[in-house]
Structure 1
Amino acid sequence: MAKVTRGMDHVGVTVPDVEEATTFFKKAFHANISYDNKKLGDEPQQGDTVEKTLGLKKGAKVIHIRILSFDNGSGIELFQYKNTEQREPVIASDLGVQHIAFYVDDIQEAAKQFVEAGGELLTEPRELLGDVEKGTGKFVYGRAPWGMLIELISYDPNQLHYPEDSEAKRFTP
């Protein structure tokens, strides 16, 4: 079988307000706007085809879509909907995507910027826990202003303790 996947392109994130989320990601992680796929004020994406294509509830309308880019790694595609009921943000034990992580060079400074941007840390940064990562760096989880779980992580990729049967090393920006 041919290898056709190069890597992760982006993560889609539904937010209550694309502009506010953009401001948060710019302040916390130095995000840059690549482009808007759907501008606020344009005719919403809606109807049977959109509902089927995106797996939406009947009547949901996509009113704003924006691609954010970062200096290294995958991008984020922000979605803003109207005319649909929204659930609370997931917690780590829920099925599906439960958090995104940003690799940072200085965990204390990154945590400070995260909070200054409007995020809330769940704890102070602490030592990594996993067998492969233990002793190589620190991490902390926090919530974005709309409740999404985000991890800040920093480690020395040359110090990770991979098992002998590991198929690959993890990507580090």
Structure 2
Amino acid sequence: MNKSNYPRSFSHIGITVPDIKKAVEFYEEVMGWYVIMPPSKVTKERDTAIGQMCIDVFGEHWETFEIAHMSTSDGIGIELFSFPDMDNKKPEFSPFRTGLFHFCVQDPEIEALTNRIVEYGGKQRMPIRAYYPNEKPYKMVYVEDPFGVVFEIYTHSYELTYSSGAYQD
């Protein structure tokens, strides 16, 4: 591997939600993510780096939005956005189209987390499944938050789940 071809780390993911306060509450209470910056208002302007950057990203056809920053236990950022007058319709689940269709979190207590997600208005999209029945204790499930954002839960790390010989009883 040369110096320009090394594995980059994951920084954050941005999620658009219809109600930023409810989203922060859900992700804090259910997922245990902590708030780095509570919901705040961003207004279109060119006098600050943030204002200009948002114009660069969103174009000229917006005036204001709310943003909040959260973090997982391993330092991955969660950037929540909420735009006024946005379509509150849940996103279409489209795994057969190019682009992101889910993210994944890890919790050894997969059943308990899945139940909390459902209790807080989310949805369990499938039964909890074992990856390697009778071989390894790895489980997974697809769920969605109360806003329709689909994500997956693993009981074990990505590396352990997919590497051969990674778990021995």
TM class by smaller structure: 0.7 to 0.9
Please give the residue correspondences for 1:29-108 in structure 2 after superposition, counting only pairs within 5 Å.
29-36=31-38, 39-40=40-41, 44-45=43-44, 49=52, 52-54=55-57, 56=58, 58-83=60-85, 88-91=90-93, 92-108=95-111
| Of 110, 114, 117, the match for 2:117 | 114
CA distance in 1, matches of 2:87, 2:151: 23
CA distance in 2, matches of 1:161, 1:102: 15
Assess, with a 3 A threshold, how the Cα gap between structure 1 residues 136 and 157 changes in structure 2: closer, same or farther. farther
TM-score by structure 1 length? 0.73
Instruction: Give RMSD over aligned pairs.
Output: 3.2
Q: Which amino acid aligns with 1:98?
A: F
CA distance in 1, matches of 2:125, 2:85: 32
Structure 2: gaps (5+ residues): none
CA distance in 2, matches of 1:80, 1:104: 27
What is the DSSP-based 3-state SS (H/G/I as helix, E as strand, rest coil) of the residue aligned with 1:71?
coil
8 Å Cα contact 1:27/1:114 also seen in 2: no
CA distance in 2, matches of 1:57, 1:84: 16
1:8 aligns with 2:10: yes
Distance apart, 1:75 and its partner CA: 1.8
CA distance in 1, matches of 2:6, 2:159: 28
Structure 1: gaps (5+ residues): 164-168
Assess, with a 3 A threshold, how the Cα gap between structure 1 residues 60 and 87 changes in structure 2: closer, same or farther. farther
Distance apart, 1:52 and its partner CA: 4.7
Task: Report sequence identity in percent.
Answer: 21
CA distance in 1, matches of 2:157, 2:6: 29
Spell out, residue by residue over 1:12-50, the C-alpha distance to the aligned partner (whole angstroms, 9 max, x if none): 1111111100111112211111014x614xx62368955
TM-score by structure 2 length? 0.74
Provide the aligned length of Structure 1 versus Structure 2.
156
